[in-house]
Every structure is written in structure tokens, then in C-alpha cells.
Amino acid sequence: MHLESRILITGGAGFLGSHLADRLIALGADVICADNFFTGSRRNIRHLLDNRQFELMRHDITFPLYVEVDEIYNLACPASPVHYQHDPVQTTKTSVHGAINMLGLAKRLRARILQASTSEVYGDPVTHPQTEDYWGNVNPIGPRSCYDEGKRCAETLFFDYRRQHGLGIKVARIFNTYGPRMQPNDGRVVSNFIIQALLGRDLTIYGDGAQTRSFCYVDDLVEAMVRLMATPDEVTGPINLGNPAEMTIRELAEKIIALTGSRSKIVLRPRPADDPYRRKPDITRARETLGWEPQTGLEAGLAPTIAYFEDLLKSIPAGDVDRLLGVGAPI
């Protein structure tokens, strides 16, 4: 990226996209944010609306987009099970049609393009930890398939555009990421537990609590994405981006209860279909290629995340909390 770059972020009003916009603007770039606001929020980018380096476009990337930019970060897609299963056909279209449209734009402009892929391409892995050369264990017809297979197909498209058209691509496989600006109604484990703890409600664990995840703070993840985009053209990825510090879901619940000072109890519910039992990235490639690894410990990252949700809940009238935390509610 040079100082006068114009950069497109699809899904730029979302959790990751808004933090990425902050970072790129701080580096001197002009940022165009394209978002259809299905899961993105104006609240996430309100502080940028008067910034001369920032431009907002309401746009659904399942339709072509015509702008002039130097780089494209393709982040647009519902990323939590609650949201991507809400309209699974649209989720698949966003991953596949959206990739085709953004790759077509990049081809016309000869612009570099980064795909925000996901650890979900590995499915419920039989290899642990997951390395980039593992092909995955994915159910192609299950309730999570719209996201898992949509992202896998998007990766296919990126590499075929690379082979067929010589396009400068970067593919980042993003593992669980958390931080301020997460949607409180997205059904992800960190936001779920924090909201439940702050409201004094039971923390709901789906399964026995022994399943594992690895949690990366959003600032660390954004740093990795910017570094990946800046690599030479021969570096395409895929590259795992995440925190290799693995912990059980029960341990996370206990940690959040302790940090919030909540009296909430932990309750168990049936584990959803195709929910991965273990998830941990092998980030050897990121360390060697990007000189990157996470710098933020879990407690250090949870502190501002909890503070964010505390402020958010204070802004919601008590009688409206349950309604506004429902699926698809505009928060």
C-alpha cells in the first residue's frame, strides 16, 4: 500500500471491516466502505462518516460494483451461525456471486484483492492443529454448509482467477476473532457469554463444554491482514490467521464470569449439528511469511470487549433488551 492508495472494503461496516478501515485510514489510505447492512452497523463507522478519507456506499456485492481502487479487501458475508443460517441461500450467493463480482472488478483494475476466508473451510477437523494443506472435513449438505462451502468455493474462484488471469490474490483463513463492535446478537460464543454475564443470566454452553476454540483479538487480526496484503505477488496464501492458544468453551465461560463479576451459572444445551469439536490454527506460515503472531492475551482483549458491551447495554432501554438482541435486530 502506498500513501495515496484507494482501498475498497466490502463488509466495511461490520466488526472486522470497521476496525480494518480505522487501521488503513491511520496509514494514510482513502477507504471506500461497501456494505448492505445485513449484519454491519452504522454505529461501527459513525466516527468515520465525517472523515475525508472515508466514503460509505450501501451496496450488496451479489450485484456488480464499479469503483476505481488500488486494493480490495473482500470481507462481506454473514460470519456467525445465527446470521448465516438466517438466509442460507443469500449467504451462499454472497460468498460465490460476491467473489465473482469482486474478482471481476479486481481483474478490470489489475488491483490486488484479499479474500477473508475462514477456519470453517476445515469443517470438523480430523487433523489437529489445522495447517493450510489440510483439505478439511466438511458436510456439503448440512445447516452450516451455506457458509462452509460458500467460502470454500470462493477460495476456488480466487485461485482460478490467479491461474487463468494472473490476478494478485491473497487468501486469509480467519479463526475465531473477538473485540469491540461485535454484534451482540450474533450468537458467537464470546459475545453470547459477555451479554449473558452482564445481564446476570445463565451462560449457555452448547455441548459438554470440552470443545475447544482459539480466540484472536481484533487488532492482532487486522495487523495480519494488512501485512498479508503487503506481501509480494508470489505470496497468495492461504494463510491461517488466528491465535494458537487453545482453550475449552467452559474455561472461556468461567473466565468471563470472573472478569465481569457476574453471578451467572453455566448451563448445558445440546450441541448443534456439524459444530466443530476442536479448533486451533497452526500459524507457522504466518510467522514465517508475515513475521506475525498475536500479541494480545485473552484477558487483555476481553477487558475492552466487556467494556464495549457494558456501554452498549446502558444505551438500550431495559424493556427493549430482549427484542433488540433478537436475530437480525438492528443494533
> Looking at the annotation, which residues are catalytic?
147
Beta strand extents in 90-154 (DSSP E only): 112-118
> Could you give the angle at the alpha carbon of 190 between the alpha carbons of 242 and 20, nearest 5°?
50
- Beta-carbon contacts of residue 291 (< 8 Å; ≥ 6 apart): 227
State the distance between the two ends of the chain, measured CA to CA, in whole angstroms.
Answer: 33
In the block, cell 497468495 appears at: 236
HEC string of 21-81?
A: HHHHHHCCCEEEEEECCCCCCHHHHHHHCCCCCEEEEECCCCCCCCCCCCEEEECCCCCCH
Rg, Å, the chain Cα set: 19
Cell numbers for 135: 483439505
C-alpha to C-alpha distance for 123 and 137, rounded to whole angstroms: 5
Element (DSSP H or E) covering residue 162: helix 145-165
Rounded Cα distance between 185 and 327, Å, is 6
Amino acid identity, residue 7?
I
Distance separating alpha carbons of residues 116 and 218, to the nearest angstrom: 14
In whole angstroms, give the CA distance from residue 158 to residue 88. 22
The bridge status of strand 177-178 relative to strand 216-217 is: parallel
Handedness of CA 83, 85, 87, 93 (dihedral sign): positive
Reply yes or no: is the peptide bond before residue 129 cis, omega within 30 of 0.
yes
